[in-house]
Amino acid sequence: MERTKDKGALAGGSLPKARPLTISAAAIFAAALYLALAARGDSRSSGVKTVDFDRDIRPILSDTCFACHGPDEKQRMAKLRFDTKEGAFAKPDVIVPGDSAKSRLVQRITAADESFRMPPPFSGRTLTDKQITLLRRWIDEGAKWETHWAYLQPRRPELPQVSNTAWPRNAIDNFILARLDREGLKPSPEADKVTLLRRLSYDLTGLPPTPEEVDAFLADTSPDAYEKQVDRLLNSPHYGERMAMQWLDLARYADTHGYHIDSHREMWRWRDWVINAFNRNMPFDQFTTEQLAGDLLPNATLEQKIASEFNRNHMINFEGGAIPEEYQTEYVVDRVETTSQIEFYQFFSFFNTVSEEGLDGKTGNAKPFLPLPSPQQKAQLDELGNAIKEREAALSDTKLSPVQEEWETPYRGKIARAPGKGLTAHYPLDGSLVDISGGYRHGRTITGDPTFGAGQVGSAVSFDGDTHVSFGNVGSFDRSDAFTLAVWLKGSANTPISALQKIEDPETRRGYEMYFDDLELIGIQRRAAQLTVRLISRWPDNAIQIRTRKRLALGDWYHIALTYDGSGKAAGLKLYVNGKPDAEIVQDALTGPLKTDAELQIGNKETGKPFKGQVDDLRLYNRTLADGEIEQLAVHYAIQHILSGVAGKVTKDEAARVREYFLTYAAPDGLRKLYTELTSLKEQKAELEKAIPTVMVMDEMPKPRETFVLGRGDYRNRTDKVTPGVPSVLPPLPNDAAPNRLTLARWLVDPAHPLTARVIVNRYWQMYFGVGIVKTAGDFGSQGEPPVHPELLDWLATEFIRTKWDIRGMQRLIVTSATYRQSSKVTPELVEKDPENRLLARGPRFRLPAETVRDNALALSGLLNREIGGPSVFPYQPAGLWEEMAFGDGFSAQSYKPSTGKDLYRRSMYTFWKRTVPPPSLAIFDAPDREKCTARRTLTNTPLQALTLMNDPTYVEAARSLAQRALGRGGKDDPGRIAYAFRLAVARKPSAQEVSVLRNLLVQQRVHYRRDKKAALEILGVGESRWDPRLDNGELAAWTMVTSAILNLDEAITKE
């Protein structure tokens, strides 16, 4: 059987420059409705007709005239415009109704002189002879100017009379049959029950019917047997998943931010909200309002705030060099793509009030966001919070101050003591780079301008990535020399950074270095890194390398001490963090000299990892300090320094450090026990909070940003200031309503709005028939295709409003129509007269959507995990795809790790969607990348699709599992087992010829796998699930090839 190929191109959401206006993402949700404004053609009759302005003339004017004579005042020439009736007839000689010869418009478009002819050559546009003839005829017939159909409120038409009154099952059929009558066509017979149930099951749940469901339907001879199946499927929890699939395309849902780094975001809670909304049959007006402005509803619930995450599905950037203001504008434009005119920016203004930042999302969700704990997490948070409050009350300042005061008194005025023996250099960094050890090897600035601020022992020097400081030839030690280096460090970058280095040259890299690397996310806007130390004679083969076992949170202070005993062994090199040993050996191969005359430096950009952060109290010793001495430097010395008064008045931060030290080391046992418990509880709470997902939502700034018309769309080129507003060709906003998103949402779903209901019912129609009544589902504008059944479109729109925006009711109306229930068999007559099935003289037939193709294979094989909702999962995909596009260390979603267990077999709509590398097995079947809103997917038929079905691990594993089902449940003989697998795949029984072909294949494969047992094991080993060890490997492999062929049938992946 041939697979039907969709000949229509994907309708984009943007509008041509020359047209009045469009409302898109924002209007009825970013792409959900793309309320583009377009031309309508009336196909109700055939033969020569009077020229129709909306069908014949407006598209010509839009395409060839609006650029210079349209809505954009700054681009308009000769003070002449053709986008409005008033403008077109403002000058009486331009269009003279009834006399094209006297009309200056015709004179200019037919002029022989190129300098006089319109459109001018520089425009790149020309008029065809046919278009010129149409313009002449239109003027000669009176130049009647009609309001564009899409701007007019739908009027409920009367049901047309039809030739066969017995055929219609509901009003839809009257309109379809009346059109077929005019075209001299007859509807096709009703499809058989098996085909109908399979079609219905895919359309309403995205899943195939089971043999038991097919048998039950065949056995039901009641008059309403079909309707009962419709209601069963509409009430299935998988109905919400099916309906949500197209909404995710429209909303450009993804699990990553996009752009080059394309890191992870948490959006699945909004996806769950959409599924649940469809399953609850939330009316479309409420569905729209809550997603556009759920946060603005009175006493908005958490669920309504989650709904507003719809508006946050756009891409977000945080790359270095990007300009916040530019991307802040880009985010709003992504919600409201229209033409470059004042009305666009008025519409833009509705969404320019969110407290989002231009560059954000580096470590997860971008602000504004809300935490979303599960009920269990919420209970744990409450329990921990209460326990923390109890201990904080027991450790209140009132109770602690007298005890602490008594302890502090002996330390006041006394100089803090630090190990002095062997001290060869000491840089306190208290406002200068001076060495106070007596060596007078003062530091110097190479580049930048170091600044000083609060540190851990007095002040500290700050580095911004451009600052580069040298301490001269200090700290020169050889492989046999013992030494200690101690320093306070605070790294603040989100990329690997070099803390300090004493490196000779880039060739050998002799010397030593300390740097932060191997970053990982530890929470919103936070990273942690391992601290690595190298002693190098020649890199990489002659060196010692150690690193901290635990990652250190960037942004926190740590006391780092490095001791070396001169042994030349990694065991003799120790790394201390806050006084405690914490190191693991990475490399132990130092045999050559270590000593170098290179300068000890901090912030050297030549390393490729310039330091960002702070450094305090750098010390070097020519001996190995003992553990107790390290603890004195890391723990006790800084507090004694504060209490001594040398640093001046104690700051609030220093007082808190003294309190923490007292409770940890000096307080009475009872207080120390309480503090230990408090610290543990806070750590537990922090860990729990890190595990709680967040959801990006909308909010309103206390003071909205001002919105301006941007010249050429450039965020730097602000011109006229504008306030929120809607296109003048559409109904106005209520006078007494606040000009915000909530008012906009309610305006969109007002029954008087001419576009909303038309657009959405057209999308539903497209879902079932492959193409909408208006083919350009993303463009109802002047360059979109006219509706092929205009009266039906208006009847459906008014019916949708009459039934209070009942989404499920609209689906039931469509699928219970005789139009939908027709056989999809193609006849030569229909191929000739209606190759795209626009007139609908037959039922729909086209390939299943990408997600359904995969879900179908998993369902037939018995592997499908039917769990609904939850985080995204990672099914099989070729290794290295993400890594090929990876941006670097420290960012999420840069390497791909497949899920395990049942998560491998979730429905495809739960697949993790990375914008720069969309799921390959879905993309091959035309799934979009979701960088932009997709109103209609393309449908292709390519060899890659067949190769995917034969070779992708998902399909190979599914074929093996299906084969095992057939062997276990299909009876004892080959024909019975073939029939069982075949019926699972396509719902019908195979013909004798089909069984014969598959038996021949089975015989061939049995021979092959009996000879090649290794090949059998290879094919059975694909995928994580295990096969039944009681089955013969060669037999199961042979049957796997047969079931793979069945799954690859055109009929198996096509809605008939």
Report the pLDDT value the prediction gives residue 115, as an integer from 0 to 100.
83
Nearest to 797 by CA among 771, 745, 761: 761
Mean pLDDT of 38-47: 37
157 lies in some domain: no
Q: Is the pLDDT reported for residue 470 higher than 60? A: yes
pLDDT, tens digit (0-9, with 9 covering 90-100), for 160-172: 999 999 999 999 9
Position 690 confidence tier, pLDDT thresholds 50, 70, 90: confident
Least confident of 237-241, 721-725, 1014-1018, 1050-1054: 721-725
624 and 651 in a common domain: no
What is the three-class DSSP state of 373?
coil
Report how many domains make up the chain: 4
What does the pLDDT average to over 331-341? 46
Distance CA 946, CA 925 (A): 10
State whether 542 and 659 are in the same domain: no
Closest CA to 292 of 27, 34, 14: 27
- pLDDT-derived band of residue 319, with 50, 70 and 90 as boundaries? low
* Kind plus residue range of the DSSP H or E element containing 760: helix 756-769
Supply the pLDDT for residue 27: 38
What pTM did the predictor assign?
A: 0.76
Asked if the model's pLDDT at residue 364 lies above 70, the reply is no
Question: Whats the size of the chain, residue-wise?
Answer: 1056
- What mean pLDDT is predicted for residues 408-428? 87
- Residue 833 CB-half CA count within 13 A: 15
Cis status of the peptide bond prior to 871, with omega within 30 of 0: no
Q: Average pLDDT for residues 439-456, to the nearest whole number? A: 83
680 lies in the same domain as 549: no
Domain span including residue 133: 53-145
Same domain, 665 and 549: no
Band of residue 77 on the pLDDT scale cut at 50, 70, 90: confident
Last residue of a domain, one of 130, 145, 160: 145
In the block, tokens 């280095």 appear at 501
Looking at the domain assignment, is residue 294 inside a domain? no
End position of a domain, from candidates 581, 609, 644: 644
pLDDT of 59 > 90? The answer is no
* Residue 1003 lies inside a defined structural domain of this protein: yes
Task: Give yes or no for residue 21 having a pLDDT over 50.
Answer: no
Residue whose structure tokens are 């409450």: 382
Among the three residues 625, 656, 691, which one is the final residue of a domain in this structure?
Answer: 691
Ordered DSSP codes for 52-64: PIIIIIHHHHHHH
Residue 212 has pLDDT above 80, yes or no: yes
785 found inside a domain: no
Q: Cα–Cα distance between 350 and 310 in angstroms, integer?
A: 15
- Which pLDDT belongs to residue 337? 47
- The 10s digit of each residue's pLDDT in 718-771 is 667 677 778 777 888 888 888 888 999 999 999 999 999 999 999 999 999 999
| In a shared domain, residues 386 and 485 | no
Instruction: Say if CB 598 and CB 504 are below 8 A apart.
Output: yes
Looking at the fold, whether 418 and 552 belong to one and the same domain comes out as yes
What span, in angstroms and rounded, lies between the C-alpha atoms of 969 and 1043? 14
Q: How far apart are CA 194 and CA 702, in angstroms?
A: 59
If asked whether residues 454 and 516 sit together in one domain, one would say yes
**8-state DSSP, 572:** G
Note whether residue 830 is domain-resident.
Answer: no
Instruction: Evaluate if residue 530 carries a pLDDT over 80.
Output: yes
Same domain for 558 and 660, yes or no, is no
Q: Inter-axis angle of helices 756-769 and 237-250, to 10 degrees?
A: 110
**Residue 551 belongs to a domain:** yes
Same domain, 499 and 610: yes
CB atoms within 10 A of CB 589: 14
Measured between its terminal Cα atoms, the distance across the chain in Å is 11
CA distance 961 to 939: 29
Segment 987-1012 shows an average pLDDT of 97
Confidence label for 349 from pLDDT (cuts 50, 70 and 90): low
Q: How far apart are the C-alpha atoms of 345 and 713, rounded to whole Å? A: 10
Q: What is the largest CA-CA distance in the chain?
A: 110
* Contact predicate 960/1023, CB 8 Å: yes
Are residue 388 and residue 520 in the same domain, yes or no? no
Mean pLDDT confidence for 296-306: 93
Do 585 and 487 share a structural domain?
yes
Q: Does a structural domain hold residue 841?
A: no
Q: Percent of the chain having pLDDT more than 70? A: 87
Quote the pLDDT of residue 1035: 97
Query: Residue 713: pLDDT above 70?
Result: no
Mean of all residue pLDDT scores within the chain:
86
pLDDT score, position 818: 98
Cα 861 from Cα 599, distance rounded (Å): 67
pLDDT tens figures, 950-976: 999 999 999 999 999 999 999 999 999
Q: Taking the CA of residue 677 as centre, how many other CA atoms within 13 Å lie in the half-sphere pointing to its CB?
A: 18
Q: How far apart are CA 260 and CA 317, in angstroms?
A: 8
**Which one, of 581, 586, 585, 535, lies nearest residue 560 by Cα?**
581
DSSP helix/strand/coil, 593: coil
Residue 901 reports pLDDT greater than 90: yes
**What are the C-alpha distances in Å from 334 to residues 152, 328, 811, 998?**
27, 10, 30, 51
**Amino acid at the residue 450:** P
**How would residue 193 be classed by pLDDT, with cut points 50, 70 and 90?**
very high
With cut-offs at 50, 70 and 90, classify the pLDDT of residue 44. very low
Q: Position of tokens 């996310």?
A: 521
Task: Answer yes or no: do 511 and 632 share one domain.
Answer: yes
Residue 968 lies in a domain: yes
- Residue 676 scores a pLDDT above 60: yes
